[in-house]
Chain A
Amino acid sequence: MTICRGFRQGANVVALALLVLAIGCFALPAWAEYADVVLNKRAEKEGVRPVVFPHWFHRIRFRCKVCHAELGFKMRVGANDVLMSDIIDGKFCGACHNNEIAWGPERCDLCHTGKPGLPSGIYGGHETGGPGRW
């Protein structure tokens, strides 16, 4: 029993040491801001970086209902088919991104800032194992 317990304690110490080493050696994971949305259904196929949509930035300036009721954005990543031609026509993002309320659609670089290869989805910490469909 004593030997067994000693062995298990030793194993615990080794495991702890490995854990400390692992935390020390690898940089902490980088996290998007809660509720950042990456939009890449078409972007990279069209030769531009994915879009990163920051919910936090927009909700300081607009209530949810402006985009999700008035402008018609469905509350599900991937459910909105937004083309640049729609935006230029003043629909979806283009309702504000028109050089009057916010920068216009010719400022490609300000929205298409995502890391190449990122799939569409909602990012950010505090995940709980779900929601699976985001």
Chain B
Amino acid sequence: MGNCVGATWLPLEDDGVHDPLAPGVRLLQQPAEALGRLTPDSAGNYVRWVEALDKGEIKPREALRSKAAPRFRDDDILLNLKGGMPIVRFPHRAHTLWLDCSNCHDHLFKAVAGANKLSMFAILQGEQCGVCHGAVSFPLTECTRCHSVARSAVNGKPAQAAQGGALVPAAK
């Protein structure tokens, strides 16, 4: 249990949500069998999902019947430019590997850098980024994965802090 790389996954019959008496439980794949082969993480499912995808450890389908070309975007958006915590780097790439634009735009976020008023209170309540983070993507205990760009590194010129990909600073 807890925050250590290489943590084990509970068997389904002991996980508190499956009924050990349900006849189907013993037929289902166990998390340890599937997740133990993937790049490990210290939180959530203990899997670095984006890395697992990039390395080809998993090959999740892009579509079922849709013939539309998948939409990718690989720029970074800098957020929280005036707060106290380190600046947030939002990577479009990691998100569009999994999601379609319509999953976030425009009902959660306007598609203009700087136009969205983000709040950790809302996020902790399951709004904004918290629709996924804290529920299915890496949890909200991992502050520095988002708050990842030192203010001193930016020095008023966010574009120079880029580590690959174009950076779009939020205007406000």
Stretch at the interface among A3-11, A80-88, A106-114: A106-114
Do B141 and A56 have beta carbons less than 8 Å apart?
no
* A98 smallest CB distance to B (angstroms): 11
Q: Is the CB of A56 within 8 A of B60?
A: no
B interface majority secondary structure: loop
What number of A-B contacts does a CB cutoff of 8 Å give? 167
B140 at interface (Cβ–Cβ under 8 A)?
Answer: yes
B90 at the binding interface (Cβ < 8 Å): no
* A61-B61, A66-B64 as given contacts; A52 in contact with B18, CB under 8 Å: yes
CA gap between A90 and B99 in the complex, in Å: 22
Report the minimal beta-carbon distance from B106 to chain A, rounded to whole angstroms.
Answer: 14
**Chain A hits for B141, CB < 8 A:** 126, 128
* Residues of chain B contacted by A113 (CB below 8 angstroms): 12, 18-19, 22, 24-25, 28
Do A61 and B140 have beta carbons less than 8 Å apart? no
The number of chain A residues touching the other chain, given as a range, is 35 or more
| Beta-carbon nearest neighbor of A65 in chain B | B100
Interface residues of chain A, those whose CB is within 8 Å of chain B, are 28-36, 38, 49, 52, 54-57, 59-66, 68-71, 75-76, 95-96, 101, 107, 109-116, 118, 122-123, 125-134
* 4 closest cross-chain pairs (CB), A and B: A131-B126, A30-B16, A109-B24, A130-B124
30 interchain pairs, CB-CB under 8 A: A33-B9, A34-B44, A54-B31, A56-B35, A56-B47, A57-B34, A59-B49, A61-B61, A62-B60, A63-B97, A65-B63, A66-B63, A66-B64, A68-B99, A69-B102, A70-B65, A75-B103, A76-B131, A101-B64, A112-B24, A113-B19, A113-B22, A113-B25, A115-B16, A127-B134, A127-B139, A128-B124, A130-B123, A131-B135, A134-B135
Interface residue ranges, B against A (CB under 8 Å)? 1, 9-10, 12, 14-19, 22-25, 27-29, 31, 34-35, 43-45, 47, 49, 58, 60-66, 70, 97-100, 102-103, 123-127, 130-132, 134-136, 139-141
